[in-house]
A and B are shown apart, each in its own frame.
Chain A
């Protein structure tokens, strides 16, 4: 196991190099950092000497070899903590990125903590009586939940709990945007949770739908398996059959899926964050992207890809841990 982890981590390093290099090239092509910088700093742009210096310090040389060299310039700055500064106002990138990251992790984890138990319960509930009313209800619900895009559910919820509720009862039931009420300062977990209710619901709808579908399918597979018949033939209680034999096995693919899912959260809440003015990674990305801010986009991408790679590894470990048939060496 340990050897496997070490080997996978060692593999992750070249993977990260390759991925970040590809991302570097793609971002340079997409944002044209030099032109974006010139656009944001028109006066500097008129000074060829300063522009040349900007190219040198940030490694923005043209051509393939220029990209390769530029990548290493970027990499060196990145790993030594001398990150390139934002093209807008030469700000350091990390302070804002950190806040965005923390906010997104908070929202994402809460959504995961809500959607996994609910999704799995619904999937189990449906799988226990396949073809019955409850199964049909869960399946239909899941299909609807799947097809409701976050920005649609967000707007519906905002209109209902915010605008309409305020119309009927004088004030909204739930806050519809932001992290805290305007003017609030400091940390207040209760208020914070209240402000996260609607975003969490919106993020969770689709995951609940998908978890319930996966769980249902996975559990049905297991319920029809030979070893479950064996378990039943032992004369143990149905409860034990379900918990010890069925669920344990049905969870294997789900845990893997959940790990991958969580890994993708960091970059995956763009739409929901935007609709709720929730200052997370999504909003950070949209702003950086609209400015063509290469120095902000690059670390963002690195965090996203690292998280995906890390959670891929965790998914594999979880898989191996849950299923003894998987050998890690």
Chain B
């Protein structure tokens, strides 16, 4: 199965060396994304969603220590040299970011930025051809009058259009994996929908594996095939979308679902407490300090993902709690 995966991550660990100590931002994440599949990654702020995938791309700073394995096709990215990483980046794996304004270079024309992506992996290509291809790409992501727009700067675009530019850039080399880190968070609702449509269309047309990182369970419900929930640098639950929304077995996931406004509830019930300090994550289940069901055994071994009902859940009491739902 893993050989077919577009992206395959095994026991990924990321530790930041800081003045205060080692921040264990990611503590053993594993996942597989198949071609044409959308994997939703959800979790509270600080749970290690971005860091996991930036680690895969090799985009973290020097103070990050990365362990484990991340393969795109047959290429191992953890510990790979710059040459290998460069070949993969933008080519096999592309990434789009939350705030498209700050993610685009303010002093380069939009078309040139897209063309640069093309040229980066087509060494023989002429600048003109790259520019033409850039216009094409802008057209593909639904930017009207792409030729004129290509000559403009990022600040002359609306938020949605900017994100389209980012997508155009990301898909320039038909990547196998597209990592979208909260692509719609900065946009208003109608634009959000348009952007998600573009991503979905591209996935369909090109068979791209998409990793969709988000806070927004509504987005996940609409887009994702499978979901994995992260907490304190670990995956705490994993399932297909339907199962997760309807038969989650992890108290944290349920908390998340309960706090979502989009599910038509009258009142939000946010999860009480704050995420743990990743300098010294709690032993055992990291969620136990906030978990309403915490019991002494939760402080024991770190719970692994196990199949409970329809989801894989990392909760030692999952079986007992089933009854409570």
Q: In the complex, what's the smallest C-beta–C-beta distance from B181 to chain A, in angstroms? A: 10
Q: How far is the CA of A229 from the CA of B153 in the complex (A)?
A: 18
Partner of A236, one of B97, B104, B120, B153: B120
Q: In the complex, what's the smallest C-beta–C-beta distance from A319 to chain B, in angstroms? A: 11
Does B67 touch A at the CB level, under 8 Å?
no
Are A227 and B86 neighbours in the complex by a CB distance under 8 Å?
Answer: no
Q: How far is the CA of A323 from the CA of B108 in the complex (A)?
A: 9
Are B120 and A232 neighbours in the complex by a CB distance under 8 Å?
Answer: no
Q: How far is the CA of A236 from the CA of B91 in the complex (A)?
A: 10
Interface residues of A in 216-258 (CB under 8 A from B): 225-227, 229-238, 244-245, 248-249, 252
Partner of A235, one of B86, B99, B107, B166: B86
Residue numbers in B under 8 Å from A245 (CB-CB): 105, 108
Given contacts A234-B116, A235-B88, whether A249 and B106 have CB atoms under 8 Å apart is yes
Are A229 and B103 neighbours in the complex by a CB distance under 8 Å?
Answer: yes
Partner of B94, one of A231, A233, A244, A323: A233
Binary contact track B74-103/A, C-beta < 8 Å → 1, others 0: 000000001001111111001101010011
Are A235 and B105 neighbours in the complex by a CB distance under 8 Å?
Answer: no
Which DSSP category, helix, strand, loop or mixed, fits chain A's interface?
helix
Give the interface centre of B91, B105, B106, B169 by most chain A CB atoms within 10 Å.
B105
Q: How far is the CA of A225 from the CA of B101 in the complex (A)?
A: 11
Are A235 and B89 neighbours in the complex by a CB distance under 8 Å?
Answer: yes
Residue numbers in A under 8 Å from B59 (CB-CB): 229, 232-233
Are A231 and B105 neighbours in the complex by a CB distance under 8 Å?
Answer: yes
Shortest Cβ distance from B95 into A: residue = A233
Residue numbers in A under 8 Å from B57 (CB-CB): 233
Are A235 and B91 neighbours in the complex by a CB distance under 8 Å?
Answer: yes
Q: How far is the CA of A322 from the CA of B107 in the complex (A)?
A: 7
Are A225 and B169 neighbours in the complex by a CB distance under 8 Å?
Answer: no
Q: In the complex, what's the smallest C-beta–C-beta distance from A184 to chain B, in angstroms? A: 49
Q: In the complex, what's the smallest C-beta–C-beta distance from A55 to chain B, in angstroms? A: 58
Partner of A324, one of B88, B90, B106, B166: B106
Does B254 touch A at the CB level, under 8 Å?
no
Residue numbers in A under 8 Å from B107 (CB-CB): 248-249, 252, 322-324
Does A43 touch B at the CB level, under 8 Å?
no
Q: How far is the CA of A127 from the CA of B106 in the complex (A)?
A: 21
Does A325 touch B at the CB level, under 8 Å?
yes
Interface residues of B in 153-176 (CB under 8 A from A): 153, 155, 166, 169
Q: How far is the CA of A323 from the CA of B154 in the complex (A)?
A: 12
Q: How far is the CA of A226 from the CA of B154 in the complex (A)?
A: 13
Are B95 and A325 neighbours in the complex by a CB distance under 8 Å?
Answer: no
Q: In the complex, what's the smallest C-beta–C-beta distance from A247 to chain B, in angstroms? A: 11
Shortest Cβ distance from A222 into B: residue = B105
Residue numbers in B under 8 Å from A226 (CB-CB): 97, 99, 102-103
Shortest Cβ distance from B153 into A: residue = A324
Does B117 touch A at the CB level, under 8 Å?
yes
Shortest Cβ distance from A246 into B: residue = B105
Q: How far is the CA of A237 from the CA of B85 in the complex (A)?
A: 10
Residue numbers in B under 8 Å from A227 (CB-CB): 102-106
Residue numbers in A under 8 Å from B94 (CB-CB): 233
Are A235 and B102 neighbours in the complex by a CB distance under 8 Å?
Answer: no
Does B121 touch A at the CB level, under 8 Å?
yes
Interface residues of A in 181-239 (CB under 8 A from B): 225-227, 229-238
Residue numbers in A under 8 Å from B169 (CB-CB): 230, 234
Shortest Cβ distance from A327 into B: residue = B155
Give the interface centre of B85, B89, B99 by most chain A CB atoms within 10 Å.
B89
Q: How far is the CA of A236 from the CA of B105 in the complex (A)?
A: 14
Binary contact track B39-62/A, C-beta < 8 Å → 1, others 0: 000000000000000100101000
Q: In the complex, what's the smallest C-beta–C-beta distance from A119 to chain B, in angstroms? A: 22
Residue numbers in B under 8 Å from A249 (CB-CB): 105-107
Q: How far is the CA of A252 from the CA of B103 in the complex (A)?
A: 18
Interface residues of A in 308-329 (CB under 8 A from B): 322-325
Interface residues of A in 120-166 (CB under 8 A from B): none
Q: In the complex, what's the smallest C-beta–C-beta distance from B264 to chain A, in angstroms? A: 35
Residue numbers in B under 8 Å from A236 (CB-CB): 86, 90, 116, 120
Extra A-B contacts (16), CB below 8 Å, given A226-B97, A248-B108: A226-B99, A230-B103, A234-B120, A235-B86, A235-B89, A235-B91, A236-B90, A236-B116, A244-B116, A245-B108, A248-B107, A249-B107, A252-B107, A323-B106, A325-B153, A325-B155
Interface of B toward A, CB cutoff 8 Å:
54, 57, 59, 82, 85-91, 94-95, 97, 99, 102-108, 116-117, 120-121, 153, 155, 166, 169
A-B residue pairs, 7 tightest by C-beta: A235-B89, A235-B90, A226-B102, A234-B90, A227-B105, A324-B153, A226-B103
Cross-chain pairs A/B with CB under 8 angstroms, 13 sampled: A226-B99, A227-B104, A229-B103, A230-B166, A233-B89, A234-B90, A234-B117, A235-B120, A238-B82, A244-B108, A248-B107, A323-B106, A323-B107
